[in-house]
Structure 1
């Protein structure tokens, strides 16, 4: 336990150091020299210990980043969190239903999934926005807010847009993990003692693939972060990436990266510890 804690602490320290150095890299690239780069690194590291003093320039005025930035963090992670949960839930349900289909139908579904995975994220967002606008123009029914204006914050449509491609990714991955589990001995043993296919899938195989899915979902999270940049721009959302794009400075860039990294890092590290102390990395009957 102590060794795990030391390992996690070192990983966290190295990652934070790397983010700070990355945030200061523009100073070095501007030709200011290694001395200016070093001083900026020290300034940002010291500023992170006093986040309430971090400021950005808006016009000719220095504006404190916090507490305004806190709302942006909460908003962005609300969208990401619900989108990830929606993608995970829908992909698992679709996977179980797909695995219960006849083999020929299942192969066609898998082919369709592989084809749709290459759809650009910006196309998904624009099509869904266009769909909502068209419904409103034709029927007068406003399904949801399509853009952020003043105090109006869209939630439903951004969450749907952000979850579409991750759902396809997790769906494809879940099918692959399901098929890997089916090649093992315990599903055959369970079937031989009279357990129904649906029961084996849901109670035994699903439990095991959830463990593997958690470990491999990190790629999906980073994919969602890249989509978040496009999403917040197209919906005019004042989230984390808005500050990065509009107030490009080493201080804002570093703070934004840390705001994204720290919650995700803690989520996966605590999740890994929980899984290792409960079910390990998957088990049979």
Structure 2
């Protein structure tokens, strides 16, 4: 039975890849008259897959007949997997060793380590690659040693991409292991083991590590998923001729299918075998038994509701408080909740960044009509002496410098802030709201077996790089096609924005659905939910009054993490000149301008970065990356603030205020100098 399920899920994943592979061709031909529809192209592609002549890799710049597909793609796949395996091995190994060593450190040493990890998590992979290139250039200029070599057709580069790619799994896994080891040491069996005289090292090795391994495995899948997306960019930055290179060179449905299938297949079978090894399917029998009991109770509940008389229904209707159903009530509650969170300095600082950045961007756009200063040639005050040509360095004529065409970087960052931040927040909000809506249906209406089947199916998404899927689907939408007289878009500006928002949302909604659905199921197991059901509470009442207040903070945290993920996808797409709202290309035989963003959003400036840019000394381009870092760090402050407010709400004081500490010290001195009476004891207890 397990083998049948394993093959079934794999075939469903391959069918999904097959359906996705035809989307670039469909979107690129949609605007052409008499072009076939999606299903017609899908059927034609399915028929061509059985023809040997279709499995030929042909470079678009070449007129030759091409080579067999697997002769080209298999060595590229092996090269990419060597880099990925090296990065994961180094990252997870170093993280595991650091976590073991950190378990013996005192708390005052661990606190700054955790803060450093939070900061490192806010640094995107592109920034790490860029900083490593800056370091390589500095060492080469200083000592004549080329630390990070770039790959070519003749030579393969391993050191630079592996080191860059290993940072993400290292930081993420180290942070997760550190938290899990701390939580495990607080459990009762650890206290019992200590009382038996077992030292901390033996407890850690023989008990703690064994217990956290299954949970670590689940986190590994998410980390590997993020690492796969990062590899898509790292290969581009370091000119690695892996799967990414050959996919971009021949962007045809068969190449897309082979690329995704090669990535999906090994990871799917590897993790499924580990799943079976950990015996996690044993929980299905428990869920099945629990589900049968719930179905019987649910049927009995329906019969009870059917017995309600008309008088009781009318009484319920009359007892409804119309003021609580006011359309302004959710808005007022949100403002009250926002005001309570603003008392936390981390939440307030992060929220103020978004408020100030978006407000200033909107005001600037309204007052200047999105004007961007441009200086082609910078002359002295007498107008004769030429001081500089673009790109201009900071201070003259622009404080933050300019791009290759002489446009002010600061003006572009200010104008693009509203597009970058607002639409990233909006896409993250749609992901969470969609996941919450379908998560309610998942928890309340689907049986345990269906939930298990859907969870396994959605789990397969972890084996496909999100940035790569976004690139495949958005390439024909955001990039104009050459018509002979210039470049023209297939879709209008509004259609491009809506399609990009829809695609970036729908790719993640299945994951957020299962995640939030499981959170709702967890709350449904609480005793007070059973009491509310016994009192006749409807599903809407259970969700709105009992479940949502419990999962609200987690939903807010999920919103923040999704916002960070959307920004990372913007960065990744910007590397390939795919900008939000569309990429503007110019056609000029005498010298065309570089690709530009139509909205000046921040990823439109990412394409300016590169090894040659840094090597030529244009370090002011790092302002672009600094904007992304500030936005990600501000969102992490909001997430941390929400966590701390929630901890205080449930009675966990994460940090005692300074006034309380001073008051406690003063009371301690008074207690030592005076006899303790009943009134004194009551006063101290009241002030604590």
The two structures have a TM-score, normalised by structure 1, of 0.88
Q: CA offsets per residue over residues 69-98 of structure 1, 9 Å max, x none? A: 111000100000111111111111111222
Match of 2:20 among 4, 22, 41: 22
The 5-angstrom pairing of residues 182-197 of structure 1 reads 182-197=185-200
Among 254, 259, 282, the residue aligned to 2:257: 254
Secondary structure class of the residue paired with 2:157: coil
Matching of residue 162 in structure 1 with residue 169 in structure 2: no
For 1:1-285, what aligned pairs fall within 5 Å after superposition? 3-29=1-27, 30-31=29-30, 32-43=36-47, 45-46=49-50, 53-59=55-61, 60-64=63-67, 65-143=69-147, 145-276=148-279
8 Å contact 2:14–2:261 — kept in the other structure?
yes
Whole-angstrom CA distance in 2 between matches of 1:267 and 1:26: 29
Is contact 2:48–2:54 with CA below 8 Å preserved after alignment?
A: no
Q: 1:52 to 1:264 in 2, by over 3 A?
A: farther
Q: Which has the larger radius of gyration?
A: 2
| Distance in 1, Cα, partners of 2:199 & 2:48 | 60
Moved more, 102-111 or 199-208: 199-208
Runs (4 or more) in structure 1 with deviation over 6 Å come to none
**Quick one: higher RCO (CA 8 Å, sep 6+), 1 or 2?**
1
Cα offsets for 1:146-179 (capped at 9, x unmatched)? 2002311111121110010221111111112212
Which residue in 1 is equivalent to 2:511?
A: none
**How many angstroms does 1:242 deviate by?**
1.2
Q: Which residue of 2 aligns with 1:283?
A: none
Partners of 1:23 and 1:251 within 8 A in 2: yes
* Equivalent residues of 2:235, 2:244 under 8 A apart: yes
* Per-residue Cα deviation, 1:7-54 (whole angstroms, up to 9, x for no partner): 11111000000001000123333332145323334135436xx69933
Residue range with higher mean Cα deviation, 128-137 or 89-98: 128-137
Give unpaired runs (5+ residues) of structure 2: 31-35, 284-688
In 2, Cα distance between the equivalents of 1:74 and 1:97? Answer: 34
What RMSD, in angstroms, separates the aligned Cα atoms of the two structures?
2.1
The count of residues paired between Structure 1 and Structure 2 equals: 273
2:60–2:249 contact (8 Å) kept in structure 1: no
- Looking at structure 2, the residues matched to 192 and 108 of structure 1 have their Cα atoms a distance apart, in angstroms, of 31
Q: CA offset at residue 238 of structure 1?
A: 0.6
Distance 1:71 1:13 in 2: 25
Instruction: Please give the alpha-carbon distance, in whole angstroms, between the structure 2 residues aligned to 1:44 and 1:83.
Output: 37
Larger proportion of helix:
1
Deviation of 1:126 after TM superposition, in Å, equals 1.4
Flag the 1:229–1:99 CA change in 2: closer, same or farther, 3 A. Answer: same
Scaled by the length of structure 2, the TM-score of the pair is 0.38
Aligned to 1:157, what secondary structure does the other structure show? helix
